[in-house]
Amino acid sequence: MVSVIPRRYNPGMVGRPRATYADVLAAPEHMVAEVLDGELFLSPRPAPRHALASSQLGSLIGPPFALGRGGPGGWLILDEPELHLHGDIVVPDLAGWRVERMPRLPAEAYFTTAPDWVCEVLSPSTRRVDRRRKLPIYARNGVGHTWIVDPLERSLEVMSLHREHWLLVTIAGEDEHVRAEPFDAIELELALLWDHGAAAEPAPTAP
């Protein structure tokens, strides 16, 4: 298994004002605004293949885990919740809480309890931020499981948290069937996540 070390600070922020929730509220409505390590990040709304993968994944795990239909239930699963985690404001594509940790929804428009599971669906404009900035934030806030879905490569990475480090548990893709923790009570058909009207594309190479 591969270990990913979480980033604990951002040296580039020394002497610069930290972004706040006011910056998020002032962001354009057509952008997703996040504050990561004190910096404001604005991302465009998801492209079609990104939106398809996220929506399909939610439709696969929602009934058995959020509704208890064909599965164990016991989860609250939401699209794009706004998480306020000790100064960071993060918006994962999907997030889930075990109901014993989130027995009722908050009155505010955001969540201060870290999820038990998050999923980030990569796009060319966000993939580096998702991996380099958001994964360490999830780790230091105790999120137990993270999935990375890449619609271009048609792949799923499953990671679990071990002492604030991410351990890569599974990589699967294309038309594979996989049981992926913490939702391994069911088998996921990954082919349902991808746009089959276009060939798979190689992921961009990080500079």
What is the secondary structure of 168-206 as a DSSP string? EEEEEETT-EE--TTSTTS-EEGGGGS-TTS---PPPPP
Contact 25, 40 (CB under 8 A): no
pLDDT value, residue 197: 80
Task: Give the CATH number for residue 76.
Answer: 3.90.1570.10
pLDDT value, residue 196: 84
Indicate the number of domains in the chain. 1
Report the predicted TM-score, pTM, of the whole model to 2 decimal places: 0.88
Residue 30 in any domain: the answer is no
pLDDT value, residue 114: 98
pLDDT value, residue 15: 56
Residue 134 in any domain: the answer is yes
pLDDT value, residue 7: 39
User: Residue 165 belongs to what domain range?
Assistant: 47-193
pLDDT value, residue 5: 38
Per-10-residue mean pLDDT, the chain, length 207:
40 67 94 96 92 97 96 97 97 98 95 98 94 97 98 97 95 97 97 83 55
